[in-house]
Amino acid sequence: MSGFKNFLMRGNVVDLAVGVIIGSAFGSVVASLTKDILTPFLALIVGKPDFAGIQLHIGSTNFGIGLFINAVIGFVLVAAAIYFFVVLPVNAMNARLTKPAPAVAPTTKKCKECLSDIPIAAKRCAHCTQLT
């Protein structure tokens, strides 16, 4: 039992559980945004408040194309919300918090005669034997 307890108390498991709970709550907020605000806004443009009624009839089979359209719209809105409200702010914050790497001093120089790369401390070029 102690091994199981240690597994549950590790940071990764707790972080994952918190992420799933917050993701679920965020999903319901985005679903409400889609259903209550954006779909009626699309209805102003397209003329249909809900695409669920759109069906394709082939023989005796009905294909719920409107439900698929609603799912695609919901997915695009969730992906856009996550990108604009989570990914971009986190990337901007990380960019501000991380310091740029210091410039690395060059270890080679160009030979004046043959333009090959030679070590900075070299007195002669190994390719053309000219003094540097």
What is the predicted pLDDT for the residue at 48? Answer: 66
Q: How confident is the model at residue 8 (pLDDT cuts 50, 70, 90)?
A: low
CATH of domain 2-97: 1.10.1200.120
In the beta sheet, which residues pair with residue 106? none
Q: Is the pLDDT of residue 6 over 80?
A: no
pTM above 0.85, yes or no: no
pLDDT tens string 67-113: 888 788 878 877 887 788 878 998 899 888 888 888 888 888 988 88
Rg (CA), the chain: 30
Domain ranges of the chain: 2-97, 103-132
Question: What integer best gives the mean pLDDT of the chain?
Answer: 81
What is the sign, positive or negative, of the torsion defined by CA atoms of 110, 115, 119, 121? Answer: negative
pLDDT tens string 14-54: 778 778 888 888 878 877 877 788 777 777 877 766 777 77
H/E stretch holding 69 reads helix 65-82
